[in-house]
Amino acid sequence: MKRLALILLFLASPLWALDPSEMLDDPALEARARALDHELRCVVCQSESVASSNANWAEDARRTVRELIADGASDDAVMDFFVARYGEFVLMSPRASGSTWLLWAAGPAMLLLAMGLGYGYLRGRSRSVAPQEAALSEAEAARLKEILKD
């Protein structure tokens, strides 16, 4: 029973991240803010979204998101606000534009390159002639018989 309570407590820990005093009065604006919270990375935790982090920076970021939305900023404007200050790293899913196209394309390009190299290697091996064993000379055959007799 204690284990179950501990597991449920652990699973519910992200719910504690948002303080009720941070919430907006308008449910539509609050839904937008929560969606943006999930798209922003906590720069302190680096592996959690702002929505599930309890770090002080994440609290400030959530508050800033809600202030910007309350002031009438669009979702893109809020994301641009954070990107301008913290770079593309702050986005949980970085944008595929500009120099990041190279990063997005690097994985598939490396896979295709490895497959091509592997195919070329295997194709070259199958075409090569197997080395033939040379026959023993008379002196080597005699020496071999002498060794085997002993």
Task: Using alpha carbons, select from 65, 45, 59 the residue that is nearest to residue 16.
Answer: 59
**pLDDT of 19-63, one tens digit each?**
555 666 677 888 888 898 888 998 888 788 888 888 888 899 999
Q: Give the mean model confidence (pLDDT) for residues 127-147.
A: 86
Q: Which residue has the higher pLDDT, 14 or 42?
A: 42
Cβ distance 67 to 20 under 8 Å? no
Q: Which residue has the higher pLDDT, 32 or 9?
A: 32
Return the amino acid letter for 75. D
Q: Specify the 3-state DSSP secondary structure of 40.
A: strand
In this prediction, residue 133 carries a pLDDT of 78
In this prediction, residue 147 carries a pLDDT of 93
What are the distances in angstroms from CA 39 to CA 1, 36, 47, 56? 35, 5, 12, 18
In this prediction, residue 13 carries a pLDDT of 53
Number of H helices, E strands in the chain: 6, 0
In this prediction, residue 142 carries a pLDDT of 93
d(CA 59, CA 107): 35
Token couple for 78: 């809020």
Residue 98, sorted as left (phi over 0), alpha (psi -120 to 50) or beta, turns out to be left
Q: Is the pLDDT of residue 75 over 80?
A: yes
The percentage of residues in the chain with a pLDDT greater than 90, rounded to a whole number, is: 25
